[in-house]
Amino acid sequence: MIVGRATADGTKRIAKRFTDLKYSVIPKTGLSCSKLGFGAHRISEIPENKKALEFALQSGINVVDTAPQFQSEKVIGNVLTSLFAKKDDCPKRDELILVSKAGFASPKFLEESNLPQSLFAKLSRGFQSLHPKFLEASITKSLKSLNVETIDILMLDCPERLLVGDKMFTVSRLNDEIGSAFDFLDLEVDRELLHTGYVRTRFINNSLIR
């Protein structure tokens, strides 16, 4: 397993090393992130994909964005494990910001998790949930796939899908669910239970809620 996490000092270090790239500080975290990140949607085990990720990381890009439904977390984990094993001219774990998401569940995930379907809203191509039991299961699987002990930023992925799922959430109920999800994530970190420090920061992704 890859130990460690992104740190303010580590991300500043890579920003100083690659002066030709632009970096910004993520509010409330102190983490310096390259303005150009690596999006891992549809990344697979083919050599060209792996080389693209390796090239990006060795060129100073220090943000990798993925999600369970992208089916790229294992590929990223394999590439990172290989890179971090090297000592020369390779990024370090404390320089890299790993971003993943939770919220959407494929039918396969739902079947393998053994979670009751009552926790989910059915969508046209899968399921959506913000329930703490699902969030825990989703994060646990992402940690294993990425082969890391820490996800630096977790996004609640497209919670507005709950407005159009079979449960037809109201905006008020959805906002309550989002608040409860954040409370769960904060509590897990604060109490240092189950997956201590497994999420450093959390945001909402693609939200259209007002």
pLDDT in tens, 107-148: 999 889 899 988 999 998 899 999 999 999 998 899 999 999
pLDDT bucket at 190, cuts 50 / 70 / 90 = low
Q: At 130, which amino acid appears?
A: L
Q: At 103, which amino acid appears?
A: G
Residue 78: which residues within 8 A CB-CB, separation 6 or more? 45, 50, 147
* pLDDT at residue 68 tops 70: yes
* pLDDT at residue 197 tops 50: no
Give pTM, 2 decimals.
Answer: 0.87
